[in-house]
Amino acid sequence: MLTIQTFTFNALQENTYVVYDELKNGFIVDPGCYDSEEQDALEQFIISSDIRLQAVINTHGHIDHVLGNYFVTSRWNIPLWGFKKDEDTLRSVQVYAPSYGFHGYQEKLFDSYLTLEQPFVVGSMSWDIVWVPGHAPGHIALINKTAQCCISGDVLFKESIGRPDLPGGHLPTLLNSIRTSLFTLPDSVTIYPGHGPTTTIGYEKKFNPFLQ
């Protein structure tokens, strides 16, 4: 049994997920909290729900997904996990953050690297890591087969897909990632995307206009 709590943070309306098991062992995916109000909302939830945070993960290194990296790793003294192929994407945020109006960005780089061979384990949860390039070169998705859910970052959205036109992006690669790594999952799997509402694999196979 696991629970996924969604927050939508920063001007780019990014979904930050707090994921925890029945014993309240948890981790955060893509902390997009930027101002103190957003940081407080996240902190109050963690405290009031009594969650023992053990890690934070970035699905990829784009600014809207990493604005809160520094805050959460320092507030809870937890490691930041990411995929090595996206390290340069994360490094470049510091350079372009001011041009997006995020003058308060504090850089925090990966402490530990995710691998495709080994599941990411927190408490009783085991998450498979799949590499899904095309929106960002080192983009990964997390899949929990037991709970039938997938945290997909900016790869697959409800009736849409991630932008392929950012540095390191490539449309055919993105479509191939979705077809080979996500559409091979059961139709019942719930998708928790980086923006917008949750959806399912079955729904997107039927209705996603980019994948017909």
Q: Where along the sequence are the contacts to Zn ion (CB under 5 A)?
A: 62, 154
| CB-nearest residue to Zn ion | 62
Residue among 89 and 200 whose Cβ is closer to Zn ion: 89
Beta carbon nearer to Zn ion, 62 or 85: 62
Q: Say how far apart CA 167 and CA 138 lie, in whole Å.
A: 12
Instruction: Provide, rounded to whole angstroms, the least separation between the CB of residue 116 and Zn ion.
Output: 20
Least Cβ distance, residue 80 to Zn ion (angstroms) = 17
Beta strand ranges found along the chain (DSSP E): 2-9, 14-21, 25-29, 52-57, 80-82, 112-113, 120-122, 125-131, 140-144, 149-153, 156-157, 160-161, 190-193, 199-200
Closest CB to Zn ion among residues 38, 154:
154
User: Taking Cα atoms as reference points, which of 95, 177, 171 lies closest to residue 131?
Assistant: 177
> Among 49, 89, 48, 44, which residue's Cα sits nearest to residue 69?
89
CA distances from 21 to 18, 30, 38, 82, 154 (A): 10, 18, 23, 21, 24
Choose between 12 and 109: whose C-beta lies nearer to Zn ion.
12
Nearest approach in angstroms of CB 60 to Zn ion is 6
In the complex, minimum distance from the CB of residue 64 to Zn ion, in angstroms, rounded to a whole number: 7
CA–CA separation, 2 and 124 (whole Å) = 9
Write down the least CB distance from residue 49 to Zn ion, Å.
27
How many Cβ atoms sit within 10 Å of the Cβ of residue 104? Answer: 12
Shortest Cβ 26–Zn ion spacing (Å): 23
16 strand-pairing partners = 7
